[in-house]
Amino acid sequence: MVETNEECECCGLSKGYKAESTIYAIDEIEIICPWCISDGSAAKKFDGEFSDSHPLLSNGIDKEIVKEVCERTPSFISWQQERWLSHCNDACEFHGDAQKSDLESLEGEQLEAFLREEYISKDLWPSIVHSYVPGNNLAVYKFKCRHCGQNKFYTDCD
């Protein structure tokens, strides 16, 4: 969220904040307050979503959970189409850009699964970690399972 004095295009009020990301809708909507996102009124009014539902639906996540993420949760800004990750049959919490220490701590089966899912060569991984800077062109987004606490990651670049 960012501070603003601009009026929300959904409720018409200036509540002091707007979402950094926008809604995927037919109309070009730029200012939506967090209240209109969380109560679902923005998604309903603009017939849109804040995140792509396909990754969650293709992982078998319950449609009500997908609706919560895609219609009542602000998304995040990514280089390509964002992907909301899931684990333990639920949507994960989004924790922003991974820190270098997060990547350095990946090991064993968790590292193997991450490299396989992201199509990253095991030989290339050490140089990726060495040169990684959060918020840079190679983005690594961090999610956390709400049930078992496992961290999940995915990469994105320009």
Residue 157 has what pLDDT? 83
**Residues 139, 132: Cα–Cα separation, whole Å:** 8
φ, ψ for residue 66 (rounded to 5)? -60, -40
Chain-centroid distance, C-alpha 72: 13
What's the whole-model pTM score? 0.88
pLDDT for 71-119, tens place per residue? Answer: 999 988 777 778 999 999 999 999 999 999 999 999 999 999 999 999 9
pLDDT for 12-60, tens place per residue? Answer: 999 999 998 889 899 999 999 999 999 999 999 999 999 999 999 999 9
Q: Where are the beta strands (DSSP E) in 1-157?
A: 2-3, 17-18, 86-87, 90-91, 93-97, 139-144, 151-156
